[in-house]
Amino acid sequence: MTLSEAKRLLARVQQEIVAAQARDHAVRRPYCSHCGGACRVKDYRDHAVATLFGQVTVRLPRFRCAACGGIEAGVDWPAHCRSTPELDRLQAHLCAVMTYRTAADMLAQMFPVDAGKHHETLRRHTLKVGEALGECAAIRPEAAASAIVVTLDSTFIRSCAEGERHLEVRVGNVETPSGGRQVFGAVAKAGTDIRALICRTLDAVGRTEDTALTAFTDGCPGLRRILAHAGVAEPPILDWFHVAMRLQHLKQIANGLSDDDPERAEARAVILGEVERLHWRIWNGKAQDAQISIDRIRAVMHHYQGEPDGRRSIAPSRKLWTALHALDGYLTSQSAWLVNYAERHRAGLRIGTAITEGTANFLVNRRMNKSQQMCWSRRGADLLLQVRCAVYNGTLGSGFGQKF
């Protein structure tokens, strides 16, 4: 069969099956919800229900109570049922991992589905799912977690509202020693309470009063406050991931330095060596000595003085100067939250997020920052993020009521 033949066949088969199911269902007579009296068929109405295999029309009876005249729907028929839970779930899942437009195109290509073919419809449906997810309570696991690591991070996405360029997105994850992991995220000032969300996520992996909580952040004071309000008493540690990213950046720039004369070659060797030492110092909890390395690098920078910018890029030495200044400021402002990462690592303790590319990249940037043209409404981004988290947590679908 060709795909189009298969789609037609599926749609027809389903229409026949559903018609038979509806006839069986119509035989069951409800009792009046007001007086408990017996009901008789009043008339029949057509109901359109969207499914993954095309829209089906179900002919359903309405009933009237013989005693009091009250109108009843069929036994256990869900109110306002326009689509199957499976269709809702799959649409939301696809939209969480790809753009609304691509998801709509893919659904139209693969399935006989004829509802939600338009990307705007798909968006509306997905946000509705996001809303429903916000109302779900956490399902506590049977086993309590002895320790939980919480990571909280922030990133930005482009806003499409006028007079507002970016929206702040807070994302994070919780992990237990037994390998349980859940991600969470919310757009700032969008309706989802991040503190409640963190508490709910902690509950979902088995937090109790005796659980030891360790937190990591990217160093933003706002995030530290959120964690404190969410009940994480211990001061959060600066996530090694963020330190390592900055050091990596510094190394790349240092590698790009020119060595076109002996003096510069020597200076470059000194700088590369000091960047390595800087890395070692911070990793080993000797961040207070970082200044020594930074000063040594600065001392040889004069060899690059007057280096011209490239046609399309800034001179590497100028980039290094800027990156060094930024790192210096970062280390100074974060000194209170730096730890001996090497010691923790040797003891088998966490030094940051377990997601190698960082939670923000993994959760937000991959879907919501992919292209410059993508911009977001505060609420739309927040609700989509709820769906995206549910997809990764494996909770999308499990909380959906069994409509049928």
- Which one among 11, 22, 32, 282 touches Zn ion, defined by CB under 5 A? 32
User: How near is the Cβ of 32 to Zn ion at its closest, in Å?
Assistant: 3
Name residues contacting Zn ion, limited to 50-89 (CB under 5 A).
65, 67-68, 70
Beta pairing class for 212-217 and 237-238: parallel
**How many Cβ atoms from other residues are within 10 Å of residue 117's Cβ?**
13
Three-state helix/strand/coil letters over 81-129: CCECHHHHHHHHHHHHHCCHHHHHHHHHHHCCCCCCCCHHHHHHHHHHH
# binding residues, Zn ion (CB under 5 A): 8
Task: Please provide residue 161's backbone torsions phi and psi, each rounded to the nearest 5 degrees.
Answer: -80, 145
Q: How many Å is the maximal CA-CA distance in the chain? A: 104
263: helix, strand or coil: helix
User: How near is the Cβ of 25 to Zn ion at its closest, in Å?
Assistant: 21
Nearer to Zn ion, 30 or 273 (CB): 30
Three-state helix/strand/coil letters over 212-253: EEEEEECCCHHHHHHHHHCCCCCCCEECHHHHHHHHHHHHHH
Nearer to Zn ion, 64 or 200 (CB): 64
Cα–Cα distance for residue pair 374/363, rounded to 1 Å: 16
Nearer to Zn ion, 37 or 180 (CB): 37
Q: Is 41 in the site for Zn ion (CB under 5 A)?
A: no
Nearer to Zn ion, 43 or 209 (CB): 43
Which of 85, 83, 61 has the alpha carbon at shortest distance from 71?
61
Cα–Cα distance for residue pair 203/377, rounded to 1 Å: 30
Cα–Cα distance for residue pair 342/337, rounded to 1 Å: 15
- Which one among 37, 141, 256, 285 touches Zn ion, defined by CB under 5 A? 37
Nearer to Zn ion, 35 or 314 (CB): 35
- Which one among 6, 35, 41, 326 touches Zn ion, defined by CB under 5 A? 35
Which of 147, 345, 341, 329 has the alpha carbon at shortest distance from 238?
341
Nearer to Zn ion, 63 or 216 (CB): 63
- Which one among 34, 45, 59, 366 touches Zn ion, defined by CB under 5 A? 34
Stretch of residues binding Zn ion (CB under 5 A), selected from 24-32, 78-86, 282-290, 322-330: 24-32
User: How near is the Cβ of 33 to Zn ion at its closest, in Å?
Assistant: 8
Stretch of residues binding Zn ion (CB under 5 A), selected from 36-44, 342-350, 375-383, 393-401: 36-44
User: How near is the Cβ of 201 to Zn ion at its closest, in Å?
Assistant: 47
User: How near is the Cβ of 71 to Zn ion at its closest, in Å?
Assistant: 10
Nearer to Zn ion, 34 or 140 (CB): 34
User: How near is the Cβ of 63 to Zn ion at its closest, in Å?
Assistant: 10
* List of long-range contacts for 283-288, beta carbons under 8 Å, 24+ apart: 283/341, 283/342, 284/340, 284/341, 284/342, 284/343, 285/338, 285/339, 285/340, 285/341, 285/342, 285/343, 287/331, 287/335, 287/338, 288/335
User: How near is the Cβ of 398 to Zn ion at its closest, in Å?
Assistant: 37
> Using CB under 5 A as the criterion, what x/- string covers residues 232-271 for binding Zn ion?
----------------------------------------
User: How near is the Cβ of 73 to Zn ion at its closest, in Å?
Assistant: 14
Cα–Cα distance for residue pair 370/393, rounded to 1 Å: 22
Name residues contacting Zn ion, limited to 196-225 (CB under 5 A).
none
Chain residues that interact with Zn ion, rule: CB under 5 A: 32, 34-35, 37, 65, 67-68, 70
